[in-house]
Chain A
Amino acid sequence: MMSGMWKTGALFLALVLWSAPALMPEGTGSGAAYAAVDTFEFETDEQQRRFRRMSDEFRCPMCQNTSLTGSNGGVAEDLRREIYLMIMDGKTDEEIEQFMFERYGDFVFYRPRLMWQTLLLWFGPLLFLLLGGWIIVGIVRRAQQNKVQEQVVLNEEEQARLRKLLDTVKDSD
């Protein structure tokens, strides 16, 4: 009984750890090769970091499966330039995201914005985790119930019946 509970717990924990990256999307993980060499000069490291991060998180509208960083497409080049200019102009990340959204819509975000349409996208993994946990708990509970039933001790009346049945089998031999 105890070991069953432990196993369930361990399994559940393993599932949680395994799916954790899906619950906390960090960057795009695209590891995009730096296809294009831009010669942008930044005043601070912070500006450069923001530029890198945003070029990684915006999707190239033309090539579709790469970020702005990884794309040599004409429009990607232009958009990198616009992002650079906006950063140097002192625009905030939110303002730059809004700029991109107004022109290219939700499509450009590799990290989807949290809206009711994207709720399933954001919390779907959590939903499946809970569903999986619920199913596992159900299976383990049922297995334990079966085990308990196996150990049922027969009362005297049932013992007598069992003996009688066994005897009939012997007789027929």
Chain B
Amino acid sequence: MSRLKLFIPVFVFLAMAVMLWRGLYLDPRTLPSVLIDKPLPEFALPTVELGDRVMGKADLPDEPFLLNVWGSYCLPCLQENPILMAAAEKNVVPIVGVNYKDKLNLAQAWLDDNGSPFEFSILDENGRLGIDLGVYGAPETFVVDGQGVIRYKHIGVIDYKAWDEEIMPAVEQVRAEAGQ
């Protein structure tokens, strides 16, 4: 017994080493979203594209869709735009934008320059909808089901890997559940 006691420091060291080693590979930027499986918040906001028309939850697609938070100031949004564009052109999944803390004219110019993958973009100039969505910076992408319930959240840029391994599987799963 007392022999074993001598090894306590070694065990403590090993336990700490394992935890710190794991900590090296955790991404501190991915916060678990508390909004998963919660319905989208209510809103009544105009859009970038449709002039004065005010949109609400009822105007969102009634099939699974992506809600992509973007801004003209956001470089990663530019980076993921081609992936979203390709998906929109092939009608893979509807994409609705949330233009987060941006200026209308800048947002319109960005869409003109880079192309719009969005059905429309909700104009969230003061970031109030963003707060209700638990957003802390563009880009963030939600997978929403046909009932308007948030089912998955991706934080940061969508690259091909994230698209193939996270976004599309989440969409497929939501579709499969809806089909049952």
Q: Is the CB of A78 within 8 A of B33?
A: no
Inter-chain pairs besides A64-B28, A74-B137, A78-B130, 11 sampled, C-beta below 8 Å = A74-B101, A75-B127, A75-B136, A78-B128, A79-B131, A82-B128, A103-B34, A103-B131, A103-B134, A104-B31, A105-B134
Residues on A with C-beta less than 8 A from B34 are 101-105
Contact with B131, one of A82, A101, A105 (Cβ below 8 angstroms)? A82
Q: Check: A140 CB closer than 8 A to any chain B CB.
A: no
Within 8 A of B (CB), among A101-159: 101-105, 107
CA A135 – CA B136 in complex, angstroms? Answer: 46
22 A-B interface contacts by CB (under 8 A): A64-B28, A73-B136, A73-B137, A74-B127, A74-B137, A75-B127, A75-B130, A75-B131, A75-B135, A75-B136, A75-B137, A78-B101, A78-B128, A82-B128, A103-B34, A103-B35, A103-B131, A104-B31, A104-B34, A105-B31, A105-B134, A107-B32
Within 8 A of A (CB), among B116-147: 126-128, 130-137
Contact with A104, one of B101, B134, B137 (Cβ below 8 angstroms)? B134
Measured CB to CB, the closest approach of chain B to A124, in angstroms, equals 14
CA A57 – CA B35 in complex, angstroms? Answer: 22
Q: Is the CB of B31 within 8 A of A61?
A: yes
Measured CB to CB, the closest approach of chain B to A146, in angstroms, equals 15
CA A170 – CA B137 in complex, angstroms? Answer: 89
CA A103 – CA B36 in complex, angstroms? Answer: 10
Contact with A78, one of B28, B29, B31, B127 (Cβ below 8 angstroms)? B127
CA A74 – CA B130 in complex, angstroms? Answer: 11
Residues on B with C-beta less than 8 A from A64 are 28-29
Q: Is the interface of B mostly helix, strand, loop or mixed?
A: loop
Residues on A with C-beta less than 8 A from B28 are 64
Residue tally, chain A, CB below 8 Å to B: 15
Residue of A nearest to B135 (CB): A75
Q: Is the CB of A105 within 8 A of B32?
A: yes
Q: Is the CB of A103 within 8 A of B132?
A: yes
Output the residue of B101, B126, B131, B137 with the most chain A CB within 10 A: B131
The 8 A CB mask of A52-89 against B (1 = contact, 0 = none) is 00000000011010000000011100110010000000
Residue of A nearest to B136 (CB): A61
CA A62 – CA B155 in complex, angstroms? Answer: 11
CA A64 – CA B136 in complex, angstroms? Answer: 10
Measured CB to CB, the closest approach of chain A to B82, in angstroms, equals 26
CA A152 – CA B71 in complex, angstroms? Answer: 84
Q: Is the CB of B131 within 8 A of A78?
A: yes
Residue of B nearest to A61 (CB): B136
CA A73 – CA B28 in complex, angstroms? Answer: 17
Instruction: State the 6 A-B residue pairs at the shortest beta-carbon distance, nearest first.
Output: A61-B136, A105-B34, A78-B127, A103-B134, A62-B136, A75-B136
Measured CB to CB, the closest approach of chain B to A43, in angstroms, equals 23
CA A102 – CA B128 in complex, angstroms? Answer: 14
CA A33 – CA B31 in complex, angstroms? Answer: 25
Residue of B nearest to A85 (CB): B128
CA A75 – CA B137 in complex, angstroms? Answer: 7
Measured CB to CB, the closest approach of chain B to A82, in angstroms, equals 6
Output the residue of A64, A74, A102 with the most chain B CB within 10 A: A74
Residue of B nearest to A74 (CB): B101
CA A79 – CA B128 in complex, angstroms? Answer: 9
CA A78 – CA B137 in complex, angstroms? Answer: 12
